[in-house]
Amino acid sequence: MMKRLIVNADDFGLTAGVNQAIIEGHQDGLISSTSLMVNGDAFAPAVALSRQAPRLGVGIHLNLTEGKPVAPASSVSSLINGSGLFARKPAGLWRAMLLGRLSAAEIERELHAQIEKVMAAGVVPTHLDSHKHVHALPVLGEMSLRLARQYGIGAIRSVAETWPALGYLLRRFPRAKGRILRQRFNSLTLSALSRGWRRRLLQTHVACAEHFYGVTPTGFLDEELLREILRRLPDGTSELMCHPGYADQALRQTPTRLLEQREKEYQALTRPGIKLLAKDLGIQIINYGDLANDLHCRAVVQ
């Protein structure tokens, strides 16, 4: 069975430095796909850069936890604070949904606005994923699926992490044990929330990768770990989530905790020989558009 890998760079549109690293990582390295942060300060430059990279799959990084909404503030008042910014982190978003303090209609209105902004810019999105993986929440998962079908978006990220390399990470980064274990707990929670998600997607003819990597090793992806992931990649289609970027002043002014680490990821993804290693291992680098087309072709044949 063939090994295929989607290397998806999140946060396209966050800053100009993130945009540039993603484009260079596509041109010179393994990046095959990216997720566009629609309310990012560098959204328009990201769209312009994407036009220079026709083989770069561009998805939508749905965002309900950081920055300003795309929809008019008055139409999504339950999602924002007095400053007009998204009011809750993922855990708070989930609690507010469970307690009925959020309007599902307003959430869907905002997600509609984000997708329509991307399409109005001339981008044909290859997939949906989300900032902080909020689309793994059950209500938001169904909403994302409904939106994907409505807008003809052929794939959604599944965040059920397959091989988190926990023991390997703990041996290599013993001083970061607490952080790694917290991220592993988050990965297990997301996997539990995503149980049955792949089956649900395939039943509705929306594609997803069979294997996913990136939650547990967030902030630790370097050349050595990347080579380890490539060597252990299973048969089928996998997605590796990454966060390359340049740690410039604009990035430091955002709420992200990933600063210099983004440069390490960029260096790992563009290291001479990394493409050759993937080729030698028989790994085909694809994007979500390729995956969705394959699913569509199989459905037609059947």
DSSP 265-279: HHHHHT-TTHHHHHH
3-301, what's its fold?
TIM Barrel (3.20.20)
pTM of the model as a whole: 0.94
Secondary structure (DSSP) of 28-39: HSS--EEEE-TT
Residue among 198, 156, 211 nearest 4 (CA): 211
pLDDT score of 297:
53
pLDDT score of 300:
40
N-terminal to C-terminal alpha carbon distance within the chain: 20
Could you tell me where the beta strands, DSSP code E, fall in the chain?
3-12, 33-36, 57-62, 128-130, 211-213, 236-242, 283-286
Residues of the chain with pLDDT under 50: 299-302
pLDDT score of 301:
39
pLDDT score of 302:
44
260 C-beta neighbours (distance < 10 Å), count: 11
What's the CA gap between 206 and 266, in Å, rounded?
Answer: 30
**H or E stretch including 262?**
helix 260-269
Domain boundaries, the chain: 3-301
Rg of the chain, C-alpha, whole Å: 18
pLDDT score of 273:
93
CB 89 within 8 A of CB 123: no
User: Which residue type does 160 have?
Assistant: A
3-class secondary structure, 283: strand
What's the CA gap between 300 and 176, in Å, rounded?
Answer: 49
pLDDT score of 295:
60
